[in-house]
Amino acid sequence: AGGGRVVGLAHHRLDERAIPEGSILVTRHLEPQLAPVLAGLAGLVSETGSALSHLAILAREADLPTVVGVPDALRRFPPGTRLMIDGRTGEIDVLATDPAADQPVATP
């Protein structure tokens, strides 16, 4: 959906707690209520949506790396996973996972 390339830690918005600044937010849908948090994010990954959705357009205007249409993103990228995302190509690389998540660490 746009915005270049970034490395950061995945975060899921499961409740109303603040999203840590510099996180890559992994979400099921590109919800309009996420617009206020875009400024504090390093990147955005969504299971659904398109590059033409309102939130994707706002993210692109903010030059926020954004990848949309990623099947099972919430399951594939648990909180604490170190990701590299490229909004221009749609590429997502898992650089490392949180040991507490009990998943293997991927090598770049």
* pLDDT, tens digit, 9 for 90 and up, residues 18-71: 788 889 999 999 988 889 889 889 999 999 988 888 888 999 999 999 999 999
Report the C-alpha gap between 18 and 100 in whole angstroms.
Answer: 21
Q: Which residues are catalytic?
A: 54
Strand order in the sheet with 91-96: 66-67, 43-46, 24-27, 5-12, 82-86, 91-96
Considering the entire predicted model, what is its pTM?
0.84
Integer-rounded Cα radius of gyration of the chain: 13
